[in-house]
């Protein structure tokens, strides 16, 4: 399985949904970086990791002494505290769930893959990624680079977007600690009402997350295969249920003319070169422009729903019915926000290591 990502910084994710532990090893972090473990814990709580059924942060095994990175691989074990009985998943090797990777995983790994609650395909593996992203975020914020996200949309209900040209550190921090991270609380209440109605009907909802990174210096990234947006996209598409990604004006660019799409340059009162609009989303030719990096990621509804579904018995190729799943999570979008931030933080840090005098 492809569970190792390497781009200056190496990240290796391990574990399975019903295994004793999951975790991550992060290599090539700058040595001597102070890591606030309390901030890490707060970040992990945003992923829902302290709730029933989710893994809890267990132990840093290597790579950090007295809260400072040592230069050796930073390895973290996360105990899987709420494992379910084996017979809970006994039918998944023959009755693949619609929308899940049961069928494709069985084909790819010749029936030897762990089918318990998704095995290595589980969304629980976003937790190690969040730990890695939280570490990278602290290193970046110490240099003044901040990344934050909010719920842009759930089931057609829209939040106010970030300003693409003037989003600030304060805008990002004002959302970070909200229980339901939106800019306009009135829209958030509408979203929560819709989520509750979906849950009562056994349905799930999708949505979109808007993410911004501020104070990223111009000149980060490279063209073609090592572009900044290329790296961000690769990490974001490691998240479950993501189905679309756009930078800046994104798909609206297809409706524009060249003069509408182009962002005019100017010099501000401090001598900084900026653009009057930010349709390019802060990245030109794979390289940061100095404008805020703005992206939006779309997530499909969770495949685990509270309604009966049709499937095929792989043993005899006959149609069968899967029972409704009780106690579903009607919308995964809110808990994916720190995952999106983590992916962006990791991508930014790996490129920032090339920046002069960064570390």
Pairing of strands 4-7, 9-15: antiparallel
Alpha-carbon gap, residue 59 to 77, rounded angstroms: 5
* Cβ atoms 326, 121 nearer than 8 A: no
Nearest to 78 by CA among 60, 57, 53: 57
Domains annotated for the chain, with CATH where assigned, are 1-142 (3.60.150.10), 144-359 (3.60.150.10)
Return per-residue pLDDT of the chain as tens, 359 residues. 478 999 999 999 998 877 788 899 999 999 999 999 999 989 988 887 544 444 455 689 999 999 999 999 999 998 876 656 555 566 766 888 888 888 888 888 877 777 666 666 777 888 999 999 999 999 999 999 999 999 999 999 999 999 999 999 999 999 998 999 999 999 999 999 999 999 999 999 999 999 999 999 999 999 999 999 999 999 999 999 999 999 999 999 999 999 999 999 999 999 999 999 999 999 999 999 999 999 999 999 998 899 999 999 988 999 999 888 888 899 999 999 999 999 999 999 999 998 988 87
Interatomic CA distance for residues 250 and 264, integer angstroms: 18
Which residues, at least 6 apart from 89, have a Cβ–Cβ distance to it below 8 Å? 18, 115, 116, 117
Q: How far apart are CA 103 and CA 314, in angstroms?
A: 9
Tokens of 311: 């499937």
What pTM does this model have?
A: 0.93
Whole-angstrom distance, CA of residue 135 vs CA of residue 137:
5
- Rounded to 5°, angle at Cα 270 from 267 and 275: 30
CA atoms within 13 A on the CB side of 286: 10
By C-alpha distance, which of 115, 113, 112, 107 is closest to 86? 115
């Amino acid at each position: 399985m492809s569970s190792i990502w390497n781009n200056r910084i190496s990240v290796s994710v391990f574990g399975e949904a019903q295994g004793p532990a999951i975790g991550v090893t992060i290599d090539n972090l700058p040595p001597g970086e102070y890591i606030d473990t309390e901030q890490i814990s707060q970040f992990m709580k945003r992923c829902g990791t302290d709730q029933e059924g989710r893994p809890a942060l267990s132990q840093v095994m290597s790579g950090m002494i007295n809260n400072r990175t040592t230069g050796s691989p930073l390895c973290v074990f996360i105990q899987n505290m709420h494992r379910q009985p084996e017979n809970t998943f006994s039918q998944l090797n023959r009755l693949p769930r619609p929308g899940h990777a049961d069928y494709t995983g069985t084909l790819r790994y010749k029936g030897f893959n762990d089918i318990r609650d998704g095995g290595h395909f589980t969304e629980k593996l976003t937790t190690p990624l969040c730990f890695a992203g939280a570490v990278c975020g602290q290193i970046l914020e110490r240099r003044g680079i901040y990344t934050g996200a909010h719920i842009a949309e759930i089931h057609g209900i829209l939040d106010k977007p970030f300003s693409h040209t003037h989003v600030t550190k304060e805008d990002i921090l004002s959302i970070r600690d909200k229980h339901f991270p939106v800019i306009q609380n009135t829209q958030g209440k509408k979203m929560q009402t819709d989520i509750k109605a979906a849950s009562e009907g056994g349905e799930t909802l999708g949505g979109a997350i808007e993410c911004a990174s501020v104070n990223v210096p111009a000149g980060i990234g490279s063209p073609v295969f090592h572009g900044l947006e290329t790296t961000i996209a690769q990490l974001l598409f490691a998240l479950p249920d993501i189905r679309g990604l756009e930078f800046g004006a994104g798909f609206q660019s297809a409706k524009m003319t060249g003069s509408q799409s182009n962002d005019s340059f100017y010099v501000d009162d401090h001598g900084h070169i900026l653009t009057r609009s930010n349709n390019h989303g802060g990245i030109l030719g794979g390289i940061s422009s100095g404008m805020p990096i703005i992206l939006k990621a779309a997530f499909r509804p969770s495949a685990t729903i509270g309604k009966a579904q049709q499937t095929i018995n792989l043993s005899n190729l006959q149609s069968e019915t899967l029972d409704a799943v009780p106690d579903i999570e009607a919308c995964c979008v809110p808990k994916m926000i720190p995952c999106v931030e983590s992916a962006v933080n990791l991508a930014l840090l790996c490129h920032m290591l090339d920046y002069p005098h960064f570390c």
